[in-house]
């Protein structure tokens, strides 16, 4: 697919997936008023949640890959999403579920996820390779801590927490939607405006410094913005892996390595991937409820096995 074709086909794909998400696999044998209620009160909030999550995870993953100069980097791998999930489970233990508790849930996710970033930067001393290795260990530790908290929850909170840890799209409230939209929009705009400096970080630190970029400052600021996106996604949809890994690879294969183009493609492809998984959940919902996160994980595993078979991730001979 060439560049022009990509800019035409990818937005069209997103539009088709949005329409499919609204109107396919609707409940049978309900009247017109009931159908309207399902579309406006259930489908619309779920679709908006999926779109926001897709944007946040895709842009976050793109920034992590560019800044850390590694095609396997994203918030999930380096432990930021794991820290966010631990923050969510901790807030559930303290205040429970519900729209009123959402700001605390989001704040807990960001504080612990952001704290993870600070710890990673300290441990790795800014070295991208060490940061990835430390992130894998940190993610494992947070997963264990989250499971420990689960053991203290009552049955209702236990079900909600397990759902969030798997990754699930549910009808978020207008307050949650407004809060998440504001955070994601501001973070994404700031990262886009810093796109030129982030692009330069794809070079070595010495080269970036010679081009006038304060490497340590820009790296930390851009990773902080990406962490805020990722932890916001965790607070509304739970632990959904692979979106931040898959989308930048697809975008790069079509649009090259320009951060601006990759950013625009990620904003479209992230929601498209989430909505494709959402449509799949609706297709089988009459038989079994399958969380969106499981579909994304399955697609992500197949995708990266295919890349490994083609040796596109590494330079093995």
pLDDT tens digit sequence for 172-182: 888 889 999 99
Per-residue pLDDT reduced to its tens digit, 1-43: 556 566 678 889 999 999 999 999 888 888 888 899 999 999 9
Q: Which among 49, 43, 45, 40 is positioned nearest to 22, based on CA atoms? A: 43
Does the pLDDT at position 258 exceed 50?
A: yes
- Whether residue 68 lies inside any domain: the answer is yes
Mean pLDDT confidence for 161-183: 86
Question: Using CA atoms, how far apart are residues 241 and 104, in angstroms rounded to an integer?
Answer: 23
Q: Per the structure block, which two tokens stand in for 113?
A: 């996820």
* Residues in CB range of 123: below 8 A, 6 or more apart: 130, 131, 134
Give domain status of residue 316, yes or no.
no
Tokens of 275: 């909505």
pLDDT of residue 40: 93
The span from the CA of 270 to the CA of 155, in Å, is 33
* pLDDT confidence bin for 156, thresholds 50/70/90: low
**Alpha-carbon torsion (186, 256, 80, 156), positive or negative:** positive
CB 255 within 8 A of CB 265: yes
Q: Does 104 score more than 50 pLDDT? A: yes
- pTM across the whole model: 0.91
What is the mean pLDDT of the segment spanning 73-85?
A: 88
Share of the chain above pLDDT 90, in %: 39
Q: Are 262 and 252 in contact (CB under 8 A)?
A: yes
Supply the range of the domain harboring residue 294: 3-310
317 within domain boundaries: no
Which of 151-155, 236-240, 291-295, 301-305 has the least mean pLDDT?
Answer: 151-155
126: left (phi over 0), alpha (psi -120 to 50) or beta: left
Residue range 205-220: mean pLDDT, rounded: 89
Confidence at residue 317, expressed as pLDDT on a 0 to 100 scale: 42
Task: Tell me, yes or no, whether 315 lies in a domain.
Answer: no
Kindly list the distances between the CA atom of residue 216 and the CA atoms of 76, 198, 208, in Å, as whole numbers in the listed order.
22, 11, 10
User: Total domain count for the chain?
Assistant: 1
Q: How confident is the model at residue 99 (pLDDT cuts 50, 70, 90)?
A: low
Residue 154, pLDDT above cutoff 80: no
CATH of the domain at 157: 1.10.3470.10
Judge whether residue 225 has pLDDT over 90. Answer: yes
Cβ pair 202, 70 in contact under 8 A: no
User: Among 40-49, 234-243, 284-293, where is mean pLDDT lowest?
Assistant: 284-293
């Amino acid at each position: 697919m060439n560049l022009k074709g990509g800019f035409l086909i990818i937005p069209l794909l997103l539009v088709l997936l949005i329409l499919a998400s609204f109107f396919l696999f609707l409940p049978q044998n309900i009247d017109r008023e009931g159908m309207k209620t399902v579309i406006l009160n259930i489908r619309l909030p779920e679709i908006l949640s999926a779109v926001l999550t897709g944007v946040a995870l895709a842009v976050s993953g793109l920034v992590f890959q560019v800044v850390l100069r590694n095609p396997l980097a994203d918030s999930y791998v380096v432990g930021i999403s794991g820290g966010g999930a631990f923050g969510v489970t901790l807030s559930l233990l303290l205040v429970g579920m519900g729209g009123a508790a959402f700001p605390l849930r989001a704040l807990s996710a960001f504080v612990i996820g952001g704290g993870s970033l600070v710890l990673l930067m300290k441990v790795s001393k800014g070295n991208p390779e060490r940061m990835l290795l430390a992130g894998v260990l940190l993610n494992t530790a947070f997963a264990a801590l989250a499971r420990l908290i689960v053991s203290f929850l009552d049955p209702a909170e236990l079900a909600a927490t397990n759902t969030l840890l798997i990754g699930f799209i549910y009808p978020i409230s207008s307050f949650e939607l407004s809060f998440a939209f504001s955070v994601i929009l501001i973070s994404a705009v700031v990262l886009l405006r810093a796109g030129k400096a982030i692009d330069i970080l794809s070079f070595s630190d010495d080269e970036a410094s010679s081009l006038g970029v304060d490497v340590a400052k820009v790296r930390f600021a851009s990773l902080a913005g990406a962490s805020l996106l990722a932890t916001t996604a965790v607070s509304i949809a739970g632990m959904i892996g692979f979106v931040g890994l898959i989308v930048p690879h697809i975008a790069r294969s079509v649009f090259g390595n320009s951060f601006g183009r990759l950013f625009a493609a990620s904003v479209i492809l992230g929601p498209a991937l989430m909505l494709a998984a959402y449509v799949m959940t609706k297709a089988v919902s009459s038989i079994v409820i399958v969380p969106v996160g499981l579909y994304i994980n399955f697609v992500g595993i197949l995708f990266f096995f295919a890349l490994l078979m083609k040796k596109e991730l590494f330079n093995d001979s």
